[in-house]
């Protein structure tokens, strides 16, 4: 199997080398045992009239895609595009998650657009499509999404679902075809007493697909009485898109479980273009799968209803160990090890911790204690501080308390940027891994920070989070081992489009390998992962995979939706340059 796959690849690259007429490319693909999506220029591509008809059916919401910083260039595809003011706005906005999030298609991690058409001060440089789609529907109604899905299906066009563009692995952008943008679905409705399917009678909120975590936290805080939701650490991540469908961890996840565990009902546009509900009464299999089974796999979610919880008094501590405190690597690593050794203890107290490790610097902001005041939090942290002292590790720290989670969140959690090329990996660690092999995990961290001579500089973004601590047992698609996790770390390397392939090899063969070996009882997280993760089906979903695969085969047998390393995509891959999505027969 592997060999014929490889041969097809070789044949395909030779075929493109002798530049076969694009119109007939599908015939050559078929001879090579591939069925590819239809791309612009091929005979199968819809006519101008058909695109016009699609535009009419979506109330004029169809756009020809333009790269984010197109106005910094004199021309794009032969059309004059330069505009100094717009270029200045795009240049400033390029590193802002809010600005990029509002673009119909652009990715927060530009690597996955192939670094195309970056902001520049040289307007005569060339701006190309890169890995962006041709058209985007900026949907404002469910029937716009349904029309887009049906059009893509009928014409065999690559379909990409895009909410905020946050996906670290670029799954919300792709070369060619049609993007459906869900970012305009901004309706939110809170209820004090949920009356829908499933028997739950507490408070809840229905959240439109375009709502971002920070918006939801704010609205929840404005309710009377104030409530909270399980959302991400990052304010601009979309709530109902990739985040909840992949599982969703965050500051309140130790206390209540994953975001997906809180879901009561989804509204979904299916691969058939039908608008359906998925909950405890209707389409139960879809309901199960949407809660953690991965993004862009079972349908386009237009809204989700989740449980809300009462606000809680909250305390947070900041901890730093860096060159201000020590320049001795041995002392520094003693400190990091002492800190991470507390993961199980922190989770056993309902906590969430967010930290960043760069060479010689550990920045923890915050160690968050829900349902705690400063005194209580400092008591829980005492073993850590005692250990640092005993080991002679200097550090600085400060602690604050707040009446609510929201006030703590706004004060202590730090905003993040966009616009840097990153290649990620990640692993959640089982509590037994921490207990048995914390020093081995430290070795893996060191590898992640400096994996190879070509990529001497990486970072670790860590979370101490234990979604099994306070969660009622929910039967959903979230990897069962998440319930035993107490620590989840993301790693990043910083390549460019030019050395991307070399970086991927290092990421998988050096960094991912090191983390997998150091925490063998854990797993990986589809939303924050290495696309080269070996055994990804099992690493992302464990024993849930077979049931998820059956559900995918029922709801999207033809592969209308696609995102790399998601359920049921084993026979699909991208080929050639630019990369076309094809299925092996
Ligand atoms: C800075 C940063 C911080 C993060 N913090 C956290 C965190 O605290 N906790 C956590 O769990 N994760 C976190 N993530 C990861 C986050 O969960 C994923 O990036 C997630 O995929 C984002 O979803 P989105 O819809 O906002 O993004 P997008 O990039 O728009 O979409 C992500 C994926 O979901 C699909 N998708 C989008 N909308 C829909 C929809 N309506 N229906 C079906 N599929 C859809 C897309 O096709 C794509 O495959 C973070 C990511 C970043 C970049
Ligand atoms: C779709 O229609 C709207 C409104 O008429 C128009 O502004 C837009 O340019 C059209 N899109 C395309 C791709 O032609
Ligand atoms: C993507 O980037 C690579 C490396 O810079 C380049 O060789 C290739 O032509 C680019 N492809 C597209 C479609 O932009
Ligand atoms: C080290 O930590 C202190 C806080 O104690 C901070 O003010 C300083 O900027 C940090 N230095 C570096 C190099 O990160
Ligand atoms: C501990 O981690 C190291 C890697 O740093 C690994 O080689 C070893 O197998 C791990 N041991 C256990 C018991 O998991």
DSSP state string for 400-422: EEESSHHHHHHHHSPP-------
The CATH 3.30.43.10 domain(s) of the chain lie at 4-181
Coil/strand/helix, residue 316: strand
Coil/strand/helix, residue 556: coil
pLDDT in tens, 250-278: 999 999 999 999 999 999 999 999 999 99
Task: Report which ligand 1 atom has the smallest distance to the Cα of 213.
Answer: 26
pLDDT in tens, 300-329: 999 999 999 999 999 999 999 999 999 999
pLDDT in tens, 508-536: 999 999 999 999 999 999 999 999 999 99
pLDDT at 97: 94
Task: Report which ligand 3 atom has the smallest distance to the Cα of 128.
Answer: 14
| C-alpha span between 421 and 514 (Å, rounded) | 22
Which ligand is closest in space to the CA of residue 55? 2
Tell me which residue has tokens 């959240």: 207
pLDDT at 472: 67
Kindly state the tokens that stand for 519.
């925490």
Q: Tell me: pLDDT of 20 over 90.
A: no
Q: What CATH architecture is 188-311+545-584? A: 2-Layer Sandwich (3.30)
**Which residue's CA is the nearest one to ligand 1's atom 16?**
243
CB 471 within 8 A of CB 261: yes
**Which residue's CA is the nearest one to ligand 4's atom 9?**
324
Distance in Å, CA 63 to ligand 2 centroid: 6
Q: Is the CB of 513 under 6 A from ligand 5?
A: no
| C-alpha span between 412 and 361 (Å, rounded) | 19
pLDDT in tens, 376-406: 999 999 999 999 999 999 999 999 999 999 9
- Which protein residues touch ligand 3 with a CB less than 6 Å away? 114, 116, 128, 130, 497-498, 577-578
Q: Which residues pair with 355 in a beta bridge?
A: 364, 462
The CATH 3.30.70.600 domain(s) of the chain lie at 314-403
Mean pLDDT for the chain? 95
Q: Mean pLDDT throughout 571-579?
A: 96
pLDDT in tens, 469-509: 987 689 999 999 999 999 999 999 999 999 999 999 999 99
| C-alpha span between 404 and 419 (Å, rounded) | 32
Is the backbone of residue 535 left (phi > 0), alpha (psi -120 to 50) or beta? Answer: left
Q: Mean pLDDT throughout 281-288?
A: 98
- Which protein residues touch ligand 4 with a CB less than 6 Å away? 320, 322-324, 361, 396
pLDDT at 391: 98
Q: Is the CB of 432 under 6 A from ligand 5?
A: no
Q: Tell me: pLDDT of 3 over 60.
A: no
| C-alpha span between 504 and 510 (Å, rounded) | 10
Q: What is the DSSP letter of 444?
A: H
- CATH of segment(s) 4-181: 3.30.43.10
Assigned CATH topology for domain 423-534:
Alpha-Beta Plaits (3.30.70)
Q: Tell me: pLDDT of 19 over 60.
A: no
| C-alpha span between 537 and 544 (Å, rounded) | 9
Which ligand is closest in space to the CA of residue 65? 2
How far are the Cα atoms of 27, 259, 287, 290, 315 from residue 202, in angstroms, in the given order? 57, 16, 19, 22, 26
Which runs of E-coded beta strand occur in 42-116? 62-64, 75-76, 79-80
Nearest residue to 487 via CA among 372, 347, 337: 347
Q: Tell me: pLDDT of 557 over 70.
A: yes
Coil/strand/helix, residue 99: helix
pLDDT at 181: 98
Q: Which residue of 317, 318, 321, 322 sits with most ligand 4 atoms within 8 Å of its CB, as the best mutation to test the pocket? A: 322
The CATH 3.30.465.10 domain(s) of the chain lie at 188-311+545-584
pLDDT at 21: 83
**Which residue's CA is the nearest one to ligand 3's atom 4?**
498
Distance in Å, CA 300 to ligand 4 centroid: 44
Q: Mean pLDDT throughout 7-13?
A: 43
**Which residue's CA is the nearest one to ligand 2's atom 7?**
60
Q: Mean pLDDT throughout 104-112?
A: 96
**Which residue's CA is the nearest one to ligand 1's atom 21?**
242
Nearest residue to 184 via CA among 163, 214, 206: 163
Which pTM value belongs to this model? 0.96
The CATH number for 314-403, chosen from 3.30.420.40, 3.20.20.70, 3.40.50.150, 3.30.70.600, is 3.30.70.600
**Which residue's CA is the nearest one to ligand 2's atom 5?**
60
**Which residue's CA is the nearest one to ligand 1's atom 3?**
234
């Amino acid at each position: 199997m592997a060999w014929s796959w490889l041969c097809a690849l070789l044949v395909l690259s030779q075929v493109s080398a002798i530049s076969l007429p694009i119109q007939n490319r599908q015939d050559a693909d078929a001879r090579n045992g591939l069925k590819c999506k239809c791309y612009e220029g091929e005979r199968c591509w819809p006519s101008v009239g058909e695109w016009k008809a699609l535009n009419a059916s979506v109330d004029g919401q169809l756009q020809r895609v333009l790269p984010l910083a197109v106005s910094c260039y004199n021309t794009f595809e032969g059309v004059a595009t330069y505009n100094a003011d717009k270029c200045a706005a795009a240049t400033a906005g390029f590193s802002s998650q809010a600005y990029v999030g509002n673009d119909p298609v652009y990715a927060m991690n530009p690597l996955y657009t192939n670094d195309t058409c970056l902001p520049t001060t040289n307007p005569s440089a060339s701006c190309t499509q890169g890995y962006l789609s041709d058209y985007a529907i900026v949907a404002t109604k469910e029937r716009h999404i349904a029309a887009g899905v049906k059009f893509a299906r009928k014409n065999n066009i690559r379909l990409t679902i895009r909410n905020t563009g946050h996906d670290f692995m670029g799954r919300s952008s792709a070369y060619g075809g049609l993007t459906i943008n869900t970012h305009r679905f901004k309706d939110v409705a809170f209820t004090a007493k949920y009356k829908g399917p499933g028997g739950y009678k507490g408070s809840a909120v229905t959240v439109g697909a375009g709502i971002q975590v920070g918006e939801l936290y704010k609205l929840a805080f404005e309710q009377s009485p104030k409530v909270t939701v399980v959302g991400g650490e990052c304010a601009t991540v979309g709530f109902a898109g990739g985040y909840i469908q992949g599982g969703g961890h965050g500051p309140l996840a130790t206390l209540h479980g994953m975001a997906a565990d809180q879901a009561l009902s989804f509204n979904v546009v299916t691969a058939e273009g039908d608008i359906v509900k998925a909950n405890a009464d209707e389409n139960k299999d879809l309901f199960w799968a949407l809660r953690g089974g991965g993004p862009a796999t079972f349908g386009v979610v237009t809204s989700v209803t989740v449980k809300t919880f009462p606000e809680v008094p909250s305390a947070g501590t900041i901890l730093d160990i860096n060159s201000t405190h020590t320049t001795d690597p041995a002392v520094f690593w003693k400190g990091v090890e002492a800190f991470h050794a507390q993961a199980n203890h922190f989770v056993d107290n309902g906590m969430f911790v967010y930290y960043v490790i760069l060479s010689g610097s550990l920045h923890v902001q915050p160690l968050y204690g829900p349902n705690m005041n400063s005194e209580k939090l400092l008591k829980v942290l005492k073993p850590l501080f005692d250990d640092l002292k005993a080991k002679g590790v200097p550090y600085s720290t400060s602690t604050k308390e707040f009446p609510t989670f929201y006030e703590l969140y706004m004060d202590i959690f730090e905003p993040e940027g966009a616009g840097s090329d990153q290649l990620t990996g990640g692993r959640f660690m089982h509590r037994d891994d921490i207990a048995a092999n914390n020093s081995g995990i430290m070795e893996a961290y060191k590898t992640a920070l400096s994996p190879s001579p070509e990529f001497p500089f990486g970072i670790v973004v860590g979370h101490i989070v234990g979604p099994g601590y306070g969660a009622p047992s929910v039967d959903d698609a979230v990897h069962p081992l998440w319930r035993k996790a107490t620590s989840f770390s993301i790693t990043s390397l910083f390549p460019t489009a030019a050395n991307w392939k070399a970086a991927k090899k290092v990421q998988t063969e050096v960094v991912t390998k090191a983390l997998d070996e150091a925490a063998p009882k854990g797993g990986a997280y589809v939303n924050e992962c290495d696309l080269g993760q070996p055994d990804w089906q099992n690493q992302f979903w464990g024993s849930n995979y077979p049931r998820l695969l059956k559900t995918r085969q029922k709801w999207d047998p033809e592969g209308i939706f696609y995102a790399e390393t998601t359920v049921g995509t084993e026979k699909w891959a991208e080929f050639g340059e630019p990369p076309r999505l094809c299925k092996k027969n």
